[in-house]
Amino acid sequence: MKRETREARSPGEALHECPADWDPRSQEVLSDQIGAYDRMRERCPVARSDYLGWSLFRHQDVLRVITDHETFSNVVSRHPSVPNGMDPPEHTLYRRMIEPYFAPERIAAFEPVFRGIARDLVDALGRDLPCDVIRHFAEPYAVRIQCAFLGWPESLRAPLLQWVYRNRAATLARDTEAMASVALEFDGHIRSQLEVRERAGDAAADDLTTCLLRQSVDGHRLQHSEIVSILRNWTVGELGTIAACVGIILHFLAERPDVQDLLRRDRTRLAQAIEEILRLHGPLVSNRRVATREVIVGGRTFAAGDRITVMWVSANRDGEAFEDAGQFRLERDQSQNLLYGAGIHVCPGAALARMQLNTVIDEVLDGLEPFSLAPGTGPVRAIYPASGFSSLVLKAA
């Protein structure tokens, strides 16, 4: 009878009789996510909770799951997600379709645009210090470069940031009504952009959003729902993670004047430093998968349909994968760094993100005098599902 009940439930709703190993939403975890995940990796590296299902904290377990798409499916929601929430062969078709949007020549064409945005924000920041660089620099940078990349108007910047805040709150609370509401809100923003371009016809702006309207896959023109899903994936990832990355990097450099000084003198080390800083403090906490069959991971048995959460932040701090994992090493080999994932779902926009981060930090080091943390003002850590900082006040050193 129990077997029949398990199989009748939708993916991610498998029944368990064992008690939870941890509470991802406890104050202890939310107040210091990185420290909590480090402790879980040592104490209970494969842990069950009602909120996240099975959570994996070790690098080897995370890598196993994300590179075995036949056993661990990306179809984790009842709502379509293109292409992140797909498995082959469907994923293969859509992934092949979107990859040209992140081709090197397209990315290179945007570098001067992003640099100009960064320079404007750095100029304003230099006049405003001390100030909260998350609200006044990192988040504005993320939303402005995303609107520039997709060809969206300035009027969408503020609504998009407010949408990100509401989406995070709904996700943390697992409030399905609120999550559905914010999803519809986002759909409305994007559909309005599609309608503007359709009304313009051949005179529509030659931007990425217009290109998607004219895009075909497997012999059919993309539907509006597919375009909205693609743009939602790109935008959620961009606004949340780029803003988190900028805050994390600025915090690190404020605390490590030796590294800040080195990078001011030698920008050729910047890209390498950013990869290592973001390995230490990941901007993206986790991703989800669903088991397609019964499987043993780390000595624990997952049933078909079980929800799985891979904890990127923890995996990249695993001492089994990185020597002195908790220490900053500029010369570290980054080949095992899961910052942008691995396998068939590795982030298609990794090169774009690297360029965006290198550009903005390069402009910070050019345009700002040495900076440090402002005393008595935090910083305030972000809480799940976000990473980094919700507030970070810097001052001139």
Reported as a single tens digit per residue, the pLDDT across 81-104 is 999 999 999 999 999 999 999 999
The residue behind tokens 């990355």 is 245
200 or 168, which is more confident?
200
275 or 186, which is more confident?
275
Cα–Cα distance for residue pair 278/340, rounded to 1 Å: 10
What's the rounded mean pLDDT across residues 330-340?
Answer: 98
Query: pLDDT band at 18, cuts 50/70/90?
Result: low
Beta strand pairing call for 380-381 and 389-391: antiparallel
- Which range is least confidently modeled, 113-117, 127-131, 176-180? 176-180
User: Tokens standing for 176?
Assistant: 């399905």
pLDDT of residue 13: 39
237 or 147, which is more confident?
147
220: left (phi over 0), alpha (psi -120 to 50) or beta: beta
Query: pLDDT band at 187, cuts 50/70/90?
Result: confident
Residue 12: pLDDT over 60: no
Helix and strand totals (H; E) in the chain: 17, 14
Query: pLDDT band at 8, cuts 50/70/90?
Result: very low
Residue 280: pLDDT over 50: yes
236 or 251, which is more confident?
251
What's the rounded mean pLDDT across residues 16-45?
Answer: 91
How far is residue 200 from each of residues 15, 69, 151, 357, measured CA to CA in Å? 52, 41, 14, 34
Among candidate residues 393, 359, 392, the one with its CA nearest the CA of residue 119: 359
CB 149 within 8 A of CB 160: no
Rounded to 5 degrees, φ, ψ at 73 are: -80, 150
CB 142 within 8 A of CB 249: no
Name the β-bridge partners of 389.
381
Cα–Cα distance for residue pair 82/95, rounded to 1 Å: 9
Cα–Cα distance for residue pair 153/192, rounded to 1 Å: 11
What's the rounded mean pLDDT across residues 290-301?
Answer: 98
Q: Calculate the dihedral angle through the C-alpha atoms of 103, 106, 108, 113, rounding to the nearest 10 degrees.
A: -140
Residue 57: pLDDT over 90: yes
CA angle centred on 282, ends 391 and 44, rounded to 5°:
115
The residue behind tokens 């001067």 is 112
Mean pLDDT score of the chain, rounded to an integer?
92
Task: Report if pTM > 0.75.
Answer: yes
CB 353 within 8 A of CB 249: no
Query: pLDDT band at 16, cuts 50/70/90?
Result: very low
Residue 1: pLDDT over 70: no
What's the rounded mean pLDDT across residues 71-86?
Answer: 93
pLDDT of residue 251: 98
pLDDT of residue 397: 92
Cα–Cα distance for residue pair 260/119, rounded to 1 Å: 18
Cα–Cα distance for residue pair 330/314, rounded to 1 Å: 20
pLDDT of residue 130: 97
Query: pLDDT band at 2, cuts 50/70/90?
Result: very low
pLDDT of residue 237: 75
HSE toward the beta carbon, residue 98, CA cutoff 13 A: 22
Map out the domains of the chain with their CATH numbers. Answer: 2-396 (1.10.630.10)
Rounded to 5 degrees, φ, ψ at 327 are: -110, 145
